[in-house]
Amino acid sequence: MRNFIPLSILVSQTLLYADASLGEIAITASPIGSHEAFDIPCQVDTVKTKDIESKATSSLGEVLSSIAGVNNLSTGSQAGKPVIRGFSGERVKILSNSNPTDFQTYGIRHIANVDPLLASRIEVVRGASGVLYGSDAMGGVVNVIDQPFLYAEDNATKFHGRVLSEYHTNNGEKALAAKTQGAIGKVGINLGASLREAENFQTGKSEKWTKGTTSNLPLFAGELPYTDFKNKSAKAGLGYTGDDFKIGLRHTFWESKQNFLGHTPAPDFNAVASAGQTLTNNETQLKASKTVGDWDLEGRVSHTHNQREAATNIPYQDMASAKGTSAYLDIDTSRDDIHIALKHPQVGIWLGEVGLQAYYKDQELKEGRLLPSAIEKGQAIYLFEEANLDRWILQGGIRYDITDINAALDGTSAYFVDKGFYDASNHKQNFDSIGGSLGATYKINESWALAGNFTKGFRSPTIFELFAGGVHGGIQAFQIGNPELQPEQSLGIDISLRYNKDVIYGNLTLYSNTINDYIYLANTGFKRNPTTGERAQNGLNEMRYTQTDARVDGVELSTEAPLSQSLTFRAKAEYIRGRDTKNHTALAYIPPSNVSFGITGQIGSWGMLENQELLIDAKFVKSKRVAGAFEPFAQYNNTPFGSADTAGYGLMDVGYKTQLAIDAKPVDFSVKISNIFDRAYRDYLDTYKGYALGMGRNISFAMAIPF
């Protein structure tokens, strides 16, 4: 018993741990030198390779959901977007190797075009980070980072890799991936590829609504049709690592074919594929850096081509039959980015970086009537400075951005002009914004630190928010843009108390973010004919972008500490409150308060089974009511079935991990049973919540074989 830590000492010493990765070197939050996340003023978490693999999912939101303050905005098992401190979509910047991505994220169900399984690690910055990354970074930044390039001394050769496989019983999901790193002298080569396929998933045990009754029973339960998907991805990189010069070229291909479950109108409410879609993304990145004396020059150039093909009420398997009809949508987006940064030597107490960024985006509507063709251009200049003063680390920066958007008036875009969604007087929009941040970390002693940040963030309206006008099949609504929108402006503050000693970690963070001209999608109360686009007595709900003022406040608490030599305790909790301060109502899609507990037990080695672990995790989520009739999917409070409001629930998972001692390189093997009691529940951030349930019991097997 001498190794047991009493609960009173555990509480007093472990205050709140942000992630067991506090010792990781973080590059996303600071371009100046190398820092542990514990030392950086803003909140940074790193999800490492083995943690990504153990999640066994293609959902980026699910991979990151174990971080305090991060939730998963999901649609089925394949679609998951990170929600950071109540912000998602256009307010969370998704990066690929620090380069901006562009995946047409205007839809609540639109997913990032990255494959977490092929990543080396994922860094998450919580809180506004606009100084370095500009618009869309109001809620935070997610940086998906590839494997670094290897190099070998004296022209030697290096090579290693991993083969990964998964199987999930609930939906028959299968995944196979391989990633390698090699080097011949100073030349490195990285290769990776993955395949993932799943059938329809099963909910927890529940009765279903029957026609002629009124209840909150789900319209669909058991096997959910039109929830199948296929994903594939491939990566290749070539790099050179010299003494004072580095260069790397990477290319990534990603494709996802998905179906989304919807239903026909009353009175039948039959199952239908609300949208089938094929998403394709090709991304090429070139990065080079050169050291000249005490100066460092870095340049990044990237080109992205993204294609979205979708068909309303048609599954992706039959989508080709809809080409040339009003049900088909084909949008191509090409984007070029350039980033030049110069790090200067120390001037007084300051080390810093000045940077220039620019992008050119060409969005072409080939077929369909959802949003027009448009050109978007942006330029920015920023300055970021840092000082390391014994117990203090100070960081500050300022940024100026200009954005120009020009929607087409002719061709496929003529429909939007004819219907009056915009015209020649407002099809060109220009925005400029100034952002800034000031942060400090004070090391009270070797174990305790106090950190704070003050940020001024911003976000320019998007092409979709300004000029949309058509059927959005994925959410079964008719969405309309607003050319009168102004940029969002935010003022945020967060304060955190951190503890880090030996194997005990903790973090407590309080934050508040005030947003002026907050852009949101409101249900107007009207309906539109999906074929003609005209208002009608019956049809799809009309939803239009508008603005208000808002405030989001929250508390994040997490901890990890040993209970004994073989037991480790984990916990995290979150309280978040979002308010429309102009209309005195709640904000839409703010995550409910939640708490999670977990215990990891080390059970030693038995024969060829080495480093065995047993894991038990439980999550409890508070009930939550929709913000109002304007919230997406709130209409399900007015149907004879289901509910847009969600009841509180608890889920339990159990898992087992081991390393199989095969030859010199052990094989990682794991089994996890999620929702072990097969509970029927609705997740507030699940876009199926109004008419279906979350995933039931699922047994996942994962294996990683090194070579």
What would the two tokens of residue 535 be?
């208002």
Distance from C-alpha of 429 to C-alpha of 402, rounded to nearest angstrom: 11
What's the pLDDT at 679?
96
Return the percentage of the chain with pLDDT > 90, whole number: 73
Residue 22 has pLDDT above 50, yes or no: no
Q: Is residue 416 within 8 Å of residue 467, measured between CB atoms? A: yes
Give every CB contact of residue 548 below 8 A, 6+ residues apart in sequence.
517, 518, 520, 580, 581, 582, 583
Q: What is the reported pLDDT for 633?
A: 83
Query: pLDDT per residue over 35-48, tens digit each?
Result: 788 888 988 899 99
Residue 8 is inside which H or E element, if any?
helix 7-14
What is the pLDDT at residue 14?
33
pLDDT in tens, 648-699: 999 999 999 999 988 778 999 999 999 999 999 999 999 999 999 999 999 9
pLDDT of residue 11: 32
Q: For 475-484, write each residue's pLDDT tens digit.
A: 778 999 999 9
CA distance 188 to 181: 7
pLDDT value, residue 7: 29
Q: What residue ranges do the domains of the chain occupy?
A: 7-221+229-706
Taking residues 451-480, what's their average pLDDT? 89
Q: Is the pLDDT of residue 171 over 50?
A: yes
Q: Is 248 helix (H, G, I), strand (E, B) or coil?
A: strand
Confidence of residue 23 (pLDDT cuts 50, 70, 90): very low
Q: Distance between CA 86 and CA 552 in Å, rounded?
A: 7
pLDDT of amino acid 25 = 57
Which residues make Cβ contacts (< 8 Å) with residue 508, sequence separation at least 6? 15, 16, 496, 497, 555, 556, 557
- 408's CB contacts (< 8 A; 6+ apart) are 372, 373, 374, 427
What pLDDT shows up at residue 471? 85
Burial class (CB in 10 A: 0-12, 13-18, 19+), 302: buried
The rounded Cα 349 to chain-centroid distance in angstroms is 36
Query: What local confidence, expressed as pLDDT, does residue 533 receive?
Result: 85
Q: Which of 60, 69, 64, 109 is nearest to 89 (CA)?
A: 109
pTM of the model: 0.90
> Are 533 and 474 spatial neighbours (Cβ–Cβ below 8 Å)?
no
Compute CA distances 495 → 248, 482, 556, 687, whole Å.
Answer: 38, 36, 11, 32
Tell me the C-alpha to C-alpha distance, in Å, between residue 65 and each of 60, 85, 126.
Answer: 9, 12, 13
482: left (phi over 0), alpha (psi -120 to 50) or beta: beta
Q: Which amino acid is at 37?
A: A
CATH topology assigned to domain 7-221+229-706: Maltoporin; Chain A (2.40.170)
pLDDT bracket for residue 593 (50, 70, 90): very high
Is pLDDT at 102 greater than 90 in this prediction? no
Instruction: Give the number of other Cβ atoms within 10 Å of residue 413's Cβ.
Output: 23
Strands 504-528 and 488-501: antiparallel
Tens of pLDDT, residues 530-539: 888 889 888 8
Q: For residues 17 and 10, what is the distance between their CA atoms, to the nearest angstrom?
A: 12
Tell me if 47 sits within 8 A of 122, measured CB to CB.
Answer: yes
Segment 441-457 shows an average pLDDT of 94
The closest of 481, 480, 485, 545 to 516, measured between CA atoms, is: 485
Q: What is the mean pLDDT of the chain?
A: 90
518/562 Cα distance (integer angstroms): 43
Is the preceding peptide bond at 267 cis, omega within 30 degrees of 0? yes
pLDDT tens-digit readout, 241-259? 998 999 999 999 999 999 9
Position 26 scores a pLDDT of 60
pLDDT digits 0-9 by tens, 126-137: 887 778 888 788
- Relative to beta strand 477-480, strand 540-562 is parallel
Q: Which residues pair with 491 in a beta bridge?
A: 456, 514
The Cα 299–Cα 343 span in angstroms is 11
Report d(CA 316, CA 227) in Å as an integer: 11
Q: How far apart are the first and last CA of the chain?
A: 42
Q: Does residue 6 carry a pLDDT above 50?
A: no
